[in-house]
Structure 1
Amino acid sequence: MGALGRAELEAMIEQATVDAYSDDEQLTGLFTMLQENLAVPFGTTVLGVEVTVRGIDLTRVGQIVALCVRGRVRQKIGILELPMPTPAPDGAEWIEAYRHWAG
């Protein structure tokens, strides 16, 4: 991640938010693109512990979170705070676009 330029990120954001007028609608558009394009499940390491990202969710307070699982333990982690594995999963560029939009 981090390889996309500003123009590419802004084109992705435009694609996701083309019919969105409010911030909430834009967030929903970006969430939809993440949901459709981010290849899950994938593994990553959070605080030194291997977890599996099973999906993503949009919280009531307007945050996109990763649904992380380790055994029977479940944890939601803000997608912008989630460490990406190397190589990053397909569709991870949408996290970068979301980060650019949220910045």
Structure 2
Amino acid sequence: MGVLGRAELEAMIDEATVDAYGEDEQLTGLFTMIEENLAVPFSTTVLGVEVTVRGIDLAQDGRIVALCSRGPARQKIGILDLPMPTPAPEGSEWIEAYRHWAA
């Protein structure tokens, strides 16, 4: 996946938030696009440890989080803090759109 330009990211944000009023609905729109398009599960490395990303969720504090596991351990990590593997999973461009929107 190549790096998307500002215009592409803003077009994606517009697509995700077309009927949204206010930040909460925009966030829900972006969450929905990530949830529908991000190919899970995938593996990535967090603080030197390989974890499996099994899905995403909308946290109580209004962040989109990745549901990560390693063996029996489970942890939610903010999707914007999650390092993407190379190659990045299909649909990860929606995370970049969310990052651009959140900035």
Place the TM-score, normalised by the shorter chain, in its bin.
Answer: over 0.9
- Report the counterpart of residue 61 of structure 1 in structure 2: 61
Distance 1:61 1:2, change over 3 A: farther
Identity of aligned residues (%): 82
Pairwise CA RMSD of aligned residues?
0.9
Distance 1:101 1:2, change over 3 A: farther
Q: Give distance in 1, aligned partners of 2:4 and 2:47.
A: 27
Matches within 5 A, 1:30-45: 30-45=30-45
- Report the counterpart of residue 28 of structure 1 in structure 2: 28
1:2 Cα deviation from its structure 2 partner? 6.5
Q: Give distance in 2, aligned partners of 1:61 and 1:48.
A: 26
Q: Give distance in 2, aligned partners of 1:2 and 1:61.
A: 31
1:61 Cα deviation from its structure 2 partner? 1.3
| Number of residue pairs aligned between Structure 1 and Structure 2 | 103
SS of residue paired to 2:57 = strand
> Is there any run of 5+ residues in structure 1 with no aligned partner, and where?
none
SS of residue paired to 1:57 = strand
- Report the counterpart of residue 94 of structure 1 in structure 2: 94
> Is there any run of 5+ residues in structure 2 with no aligned partner, and where?
none
Q: Give distance in 2, aligned partners of 1:2 and 1:72.
A: 34
Q: Give distance in 2, aligned partners of 1:57 and 1:21.
A: 21
Counterpart amino acid of 1:52?
T
Matches within 5 A, 1:75-86: 75-86=75-86
Question: TM-score if structure 1 supplies the norm length?
Answer: 0.98
- Report the counterpart of residue 52 of structure 1 in structure 2: 52
SS of residue paired to 1:80 = helix
